[in-house]
Amino acid sequence: MSLSTHVLDSSSGRPARGVAVRLLRGERVLGAGVTDDDGRLRDWLPDGEPGRGVHRLVFDTGAYFAACGVAAFYPEVVVTFSIDDPAAHYHVPLLLSPFAYSTYRGS
């Protein structure tokens, strides 16, 4: 099982480097990391995680935009998703701007 994300800043047309991300199941934090120069976060969770069930990815978008000197409406973005097959790879991209965001299940 693996989980990755890719954050793209659609307002600048560039990867969103330095976005802090946490993965939670219920209130338990399973892992945390920061996106790399390409806006990616991969190979960041302990073995066996995240496992089956409902999870939340929490992106610290407020701090990211503040570091860019940009006022933003959403201080964080929370993406809630379900893992049915613990053996599969899950990829959850985030397209981000100061006043909007979108996500989808990637590959």
Q: What are the pLDDT digits (tens) for 7-57?
A: 999 999 999 999 999 999 999 999 999 999 999 998 888 888 888 999 999
- pLDDT band of residue 1 (cuts 50, 70, 90) is low
Q: Pairing mode, if any, of strands 89-91 and 28-34?
A: unpaired
Mean pLDDT of the chain: 94
The pLDDT value given to residue 52: 92
User: What's the average model confidence in pLDDT over 91-104?
Assistant: 97
pTM: 0.94
Burial of 48 (0-12, 13-18, 19+ CB in 10 A): exposed
- Could you give the domains of the chain? 2-103 (2.60.40.180)
